[in-house]
């Protein structure tokens, strides 16, 4: 090593005195190592300073001491998840979209969905998780589609449990390839074919995910989630997802990360107001398959009033213009909850092309059903 340095040095810097260039070399190596420790490899700015190949190349350079030693459970989780993601997905001759409804009881827009599904039998399946009262169904597509359900408390992991219950039921049908979570106040914005093609002809999941350093984001993180979940990996996103089959399977396979949220992400724990359904899936996917999710939800919701709950559209709001406005959005926008209110925008890229972001919208009040049925004949035609 010493010989090599001397040869190298004397060949390239013959004018420099030997001790001088050794000091320079040692200093350079020190600065490099200090930088490597200060900027973890996730920081993309650091990646580009040190490697033109980006993060992957840089990570290979890092000495392994910066990597935390995983617990047995983490190794198990990572091995299982990696193998599922690397395996060839089940190919179905007849791929279907699973529409999974999370509702307290009856679905006010069943008549609208009935019209939406009509003529597309065999390309979809319906699952209803009614957490309070047994629904009365008006549409044949919803008859006998109730799954065994349990109580759901807003903000608690019982919400995530209901999502998992819907996924488990929907996974039993091998033809289901995309799994869409919808609420009773959601409506479709396009006809069936458009939504079907949008979801089936892509291999990413539409899981909303962004970094919010403010009180409604990282402010809800608890250090008791350590060592597995670090604050740098904590993410936020709307609950309403559409997920590909492999992702639905890894959610089923996860016990480790889920149990951390179950224990430490509940309203009132440690004086924080952690909402499990807004953090579990975004954080989980950010950690295990960040490139596999779109980072935005295909369900539109209007938070512009900045209240605890999003805006509800009543009769006076439901117009052709409203639907046109929502379907013309092709940029995803997220704002942080700190004083900076930093706005993050990125184009909604579908297989590399910028497309409208939203296929569904909420929240619509039940009395708008007739107006929507009337509008639907207009806006849903291709």
Binding mask 333-362 toward ligand NAG (x if CB under 6 A, else -) reads ------------------x-----------
Q: Which residues contact 41 (CB under 8 A, 6 or more apart)?
A: 47, 55, 58, 59, 62, 66
Shorter beta-carbon distance to ligand NAG: residue 66 or 319: 319
Shorter beta-carbon distance to ligand NAG: residue 203 or 262: 203
Shorter beta-carbon distance to ligand NAG: residue 160 or 375: 375
User: Quick one: which segment of 45-53, 176-184, 247-255, 315-323 binds ligand NAG (CB under 6 A)?
Assistant: 315-323
294 binds ligand NAG (CB under 6 A): yes
Which residues make beta-bridge pairs with 129? 102
Distance of CA 267 to the CA centre of its chain: 21
Concatenate the DSSP letters of all residues of 158-208 into one string.
HHHHHHHHHHHHHHTSTTEEEEEEEETT-EESS-HHHHHHHHHT--SEEEE
286 binds ligand NAG (CB under 6 A): yes
Shorter beta-carbon distance to ligand NAG: residue 259 or 319: 319
Residues binding ligand NAG: number (CB under 6 A): 17
238 binds ligand NAG (CB under 6 A): no
End-to-end C-alpha distance for the chain, whole angstroms = 69
CB of 172 to ligand NAG, least distance (A): 24
User: Quick one: which segment of 22-30, 43-51, 131-139, 293-301 binds ligand NAG (CB under 6 A)?
Assistant: 293-301
User: Quick one: which segment of 12-20, 169-177, 217-225, 287-295 binds ligand NAG (CB under 6 A)?
Assistant: 287-295
Closest by CA to 357, choosing from 304, 303, 300, 312, is 300
Q: Which residues contact 53 (CB under 8 A, 6 or more apart)?
A: none
325 binds ligand NAG (CB under 6 A): yes
372 binds ligand NAG (CB under 6 A): no
Shorter beta-carbon distance to ligand NAG: residue 109 or 376: 376
Binding mask 175-204 toward ligand NAG (x if CB under 6 A, else -) reads ----------------------------xx
In the numeric block, which tokens belong to residue 30? 């020190």
239 binds ligand NAG (CB under 6 A): no
Shorter beta-carbon distance to ligand NAG: residue 294 or 301: 294
Alpha-carbon separation of residue 27 from 16, 47, 137, 190 (angstroms)? 16, 21, 74, 62
What torsion, rounded to 10 degrees, do the Cα atoms 142, 148, 150, 153 define? -40
Which of 295, 297, 299, 332 touches ligand NAG (CB under 6 A)?
295
Shorter beta-carbon distance to ligand NAG: residue 42 or 150: 42
Q: Which residues contact 244 (CB under 8 A, 6 or more apart)?
A: 89, 177, 178, 179, 203, 204, 205, 292
CB of 304 to ligand NAG, least distance (A): 10
Compute the 3-state secondary structure of the chain and give helix, strand, coil in percent, each to the nearest 5: 45, 15, 40
Cis bond upstream, residue 227 (ω within 30): yes
**DSSP designation for 139:** S
How many CB atoms lie under 10 A from the CB of residue 200?
16
290 binds ligand NAG (CB under 6 A): yes
Residues that bind ligand NAG (CB under 6 A): 203-204, 286, 290-291, 293-295, 319-322, 325, 351, 374-375, 378
């Amino acid at each position: 090593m010493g010989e090599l340095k001397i040869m190298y040095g004397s060949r390239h810097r013959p004018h420099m005195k030997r001790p001088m260039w050794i000091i320079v070399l040692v200093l350079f190596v020190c600065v490099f190592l200090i930088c490597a420790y200060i900027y973890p490899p996730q920081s993309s700015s650091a990646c580009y300073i040190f490697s033109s190949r980006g993060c992957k190349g840089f990570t290979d350079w890092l000495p392994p001491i910066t990597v935390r030693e995983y617990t047995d459970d983490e190794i198990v989780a990572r091995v299982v998840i990696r193998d599922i993601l690397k395996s060839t997905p089940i190919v179905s001759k007849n791929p279907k979209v699973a529409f999974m409804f999370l509702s307290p009881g009856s679905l006010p827009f069943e008549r609208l969905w009935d019209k939406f599904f009509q003529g597309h039998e065999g390309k979809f399946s319906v699952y209803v998780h009614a957490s309070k009262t047994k629904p009365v169904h008006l549409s044949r597509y919803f008859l006998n589609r109730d799954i065994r359900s349990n109580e759901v408390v807003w903000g608690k992991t019982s919400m995530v449990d209901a999502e998992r219950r819907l996924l488990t039921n929907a996974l039993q049908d091998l033809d289901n390839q995309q799994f869409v979570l919808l609420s009773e106040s959601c409506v479709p914005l396009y006809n069936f074919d458009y939504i079907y093609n949008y979801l089936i002809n892509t291999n990413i999941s539409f899981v909303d995910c962004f970094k919010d350093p403010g009180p409604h984001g990282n402010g809800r993180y608890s250090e008791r989630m350590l060592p597995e979940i670090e604050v740098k990996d904590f993410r936020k996103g709307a609950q309403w997802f559409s997920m590909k089959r492999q992702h639905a399977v890894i959610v089923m396979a996860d016990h480790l990360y889920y149990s951390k949220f179950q224990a430490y992400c509940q309203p009132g724990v440690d004086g924080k107001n952690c909402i499990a359904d807004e953090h579990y899936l975004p954080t989980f996917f950010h950690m295990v398959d960040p490139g596999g999710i779109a980072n935005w939800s295909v369900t539109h919701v209007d938070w512009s009033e900045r209240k605890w709950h999003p805006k509800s559209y009543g009769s006076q709001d439901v117009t052709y213009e409203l639907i046109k406005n929502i379907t013309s959005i092709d940029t995803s926008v997220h704002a942080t909850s700190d004083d900076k209110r930093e706005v993050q925008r990125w184009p909604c890229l579908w297989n590399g092309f910028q497309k409208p972001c939203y296929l569904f919208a909420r929240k619509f009040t039940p009395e708008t059903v007739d107006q929507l049925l009337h509008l639907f004949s207009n806006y849903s035609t291709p």
